[in-house]
């Protein structure tokens, strides 16, 4: 199977998560620095460009023996998970993803290194044949 990109709605969800994480940073910048409106616009534009690059670099591939997840912009990561090492598959479907037959899937290998090392987050994966 050829490597696939995540659904475009995954970009919206990832951008929302990044925006939430940047609120504290933006408040600190607002408190210590006095930027002009165009500097704030430039920071926001840089965040949008970074989000687009990050989204574009995330791909997954299902082979006959393993799941391959590629991510990262500056530091490219390729993670291989053989099917026999999969312990859990967590599925979550938000109400606004239902019409598109999409859901968030996290594949857990139960390996060492904590939650971020052992999970493969496939946000907005297509679960139905009628989806885009």
Q: Rg of the Cα trace of the chain?
A: 17
Per-residue pLDDT at 90 exceeds 60: yes
pTM (2 d.p.): 0.72
Give the residue-averaged pLDDT of 90-115. Answer: 77
Q: Which residue has the tokens 């991510």?
A: 71
Degrees (nearest 5) of the Cα angle 58, 132, 76?
5
């Amino acid at each position: 199977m050829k490597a696939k990109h995540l659904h475009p709605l995954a970009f919206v969800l990832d951008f929302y998560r990044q925006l939430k994480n940047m609120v504290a940073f933006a408040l600190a910048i607002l408190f210590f620095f006095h930027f002009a409106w165009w500097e704030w616009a430039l920071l926001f534009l840089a965040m949008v460009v970074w989000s687009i690059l990050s989204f574009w670099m995330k791909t997954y591939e299902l082979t006959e023996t393993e799941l391959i997840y590629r991510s990262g912009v500056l530091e490219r990561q390729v993670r291989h998970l053989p099917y026999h090492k999969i312990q859990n598959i967590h599925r979550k479907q938000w109400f606004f993803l239902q019409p598109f037959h999409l859901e968030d899937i996290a594949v857990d290998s139960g390996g060492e290194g904590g939650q971020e090392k052992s999970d493969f987050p496939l946000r907005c994966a297509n679960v139905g044949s009628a989806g885009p």
